[in-house]
Amino acid sequence: MPLLQKNAKLYTVEDIYALPEGVRAELVEGHIYYMTPPSRRHQKILLSLSRKIADYIDSQKGDCEVDIAPFAVFLNADDKNYVEPDISVICSKDKLTEKGCAGAPDWILEIVSPSSRRMDYYTKLFKYRTAGVREYWLVDPDKNRILVYDFEKEDTGDYTFSETVRSGIFEGLSIDFSGFDV
């Protein structure tokens, strides 16, 4: 669960890198949010989605890269925002560094866990939109729901796990969620 570190101090990316080995956290506007390990179900969905997206990009001989958590995304040109989206799709190679992605990925998918619900639905939605993410998917297995935010077209979609969801960024990519074991 992203638990907010209750403290008046504002933290930086340097503080994230100074955390003990194995402790994962994200940084939003200088506030640290600790993360709990994902469930097996979460990881199965993550693997299935990332594989489908990567296979599509490869079949199209695309230049975009698919990265899965833990993968560092430095959303803004500051040291106060650091997130680890479940899946990041980056189409601008100049944003990629050895440390992660410097700037907004083109497409982010978050698999919602009970502990990350508030962070994914509210905090990250706002941060991703304002940072320049083109498309954001909230995959919520507990609610049997996939919310799609196409920020470029200012459009949203609400789907269930019995439907096929089309990507706004990749015209030919549709993901059939009915086969997902949730």
Query: How high is the pLDDT of residue 6?
Result: 57
Bridge partners of residue 38, in order along the sequence: none
Three-state SS at 44? helix
Per-residue pLDDT tens digits for 134-168: 999 999 999 999 999 999 999 999 999 999 999 99
Mean pLDDT of 116-123: 93
Query: How high is the pLDDT of residue 181?
Result: 64
The maximal CA–CA distance of the chain, rounded, in angstroms, is 49
Measured distance between the N- and C-terminal CA atoms of the chain, rounded to whole angstroms? 20
For residue 182, pLDDT over 90 is answered with no
Per-residue pLDDT tens digits for 14-41: 999 999 998 999 999 999 999 999 999 9
CB neighbours (10 Å) of residue 9? Answer: 9
The amino acid at residue 73 is V
For residue 1, pLDDT over 50 is answered with no
Q: Mean pLDDT, the chain, as a whole number?
A: 92
Handedness of CA 110, 112, 118, 122 (dihedral sign): positive
> Cα(75)–Cα(72) distance, rounded to whole angstroms?
9
Q: Is-contact 145 118, C-beta < 8 A? A: no
Confidence at 97, pLDDT banded by 50, 70, 90: very high
Query: How high is the pLDDT of residue 29?
Result: 92
Strand ranges of the sheet holding 100-102, from the earlier edge strand across to the other edge: 73-74, 100-102, 96-97
> Cα(64)–Cα(51) distance, rounded to whole angstroms?
13
Q: Is-contact 81 72, C-beta < 8 A? A: no
**pLDDT-above-90 percentage for the chain:** 86
Q: Looking at per-residue confidence, does 158 or 2 come out higher?
A: 158
